C-alpha cells in the first residue's frame, strides 16, 4: 500500500494532481487494482477519492507518503553515491528495500549519509576514494597510509 501513497505524492509533485490512470501507469498495475487499493487506503483514513475524481492524501496519508519518499531517496542516494551503482539500479533496489528495512537501520543509514556529506573522513573525500577503490580494485595511497597494519 505504501507504493500507492508514494505514487500519489510523486504524481502530485509532477502533475499537480493524482488520478487513477496516472497511478496505474506509474505503478504498472491495472486501474481496477488502483481503485481497490484506494478503497482500502480510504478505509484507513489515508486518502480521499471520489469515484472518477482526483486522489488526495489526508494529513496522516501525507505524513506516511513523505516518510516513504524519504526512505526511498536515502536508499537510492546510498546505492548511487556511496556504493557507486548506476541510477536505474539504485532506484530499483531502493524500491525493493524501502518496504522491508527496519526503522532503526533506515535511521542510521540516513544519519550516515548526512554525516558523510558534512564530514568526509580525514583529509580525503570518502565517496571519491571509495569510487577509486571500486574502479581500480585497490586502496588509494592516502587510505593505505591510514589503514591498520
26 pLDDT more than 90: no
Residues 129, 77: Cα–Cα separation, whole Å: 17
DSSP 3-state of 108: helix
Every domain of the chain and the residues it spans: 2-64, 120-149
Fold classification of 2-64 is: Arc Repressor Mutant, subunit A (1.10.10)
How confident is the model over 111-130, as pLDDT tens digits?
777 666 665 555 556 777 77
pLDDT digits (tens, 9 = 90+) for 84-108: 899 999 999 998 898 788 989 988 8
Amino acid at each position: 500500500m505504501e507504493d500507492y501513497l508514494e505514487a500519489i505524492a510523486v504524481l502530485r509533485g509532477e502533475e499537480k494532481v493524482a488520478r487513477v490512470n496516472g497511478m496505474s501507469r506509474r505503478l504498472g498495475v491495472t486501474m481496477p487494482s488502483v481503485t481497490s487499493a484506494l478503497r482500502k487506503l480510504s478505509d484507513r483514513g489515508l486518502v480521499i477519492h471520489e469515484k472518477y475524481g482526483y486522489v488526495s492524501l489526508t494529513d496522516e496519508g501525507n505524513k506516511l507518503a513523505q516518510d516513504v519518499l524519504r526512505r526511498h531517496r536515502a536508499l537510492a542516494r546510498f546505492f548511487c553515491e556511496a556504493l557507486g551503482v548506476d541510477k536505474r539500479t539504485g532506484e530499483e533496489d531502493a524500491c525493493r528495500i524501502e518496504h522491508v528495512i527496519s526503522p532503526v537501520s533506515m535511521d542510521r543509514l540516513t544519519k550516515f549519509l548526512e554525516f558523510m556529506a558534512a564530514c568526509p573522513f580525514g583529509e580525503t573525500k570518502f565517496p571519491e576514494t571509495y569510487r577509486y577503490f571500486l574502479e581500480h580494485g585497490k586502496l588509494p595511497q592516502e587510505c593505505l597510509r591510514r589503514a591498520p597494519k
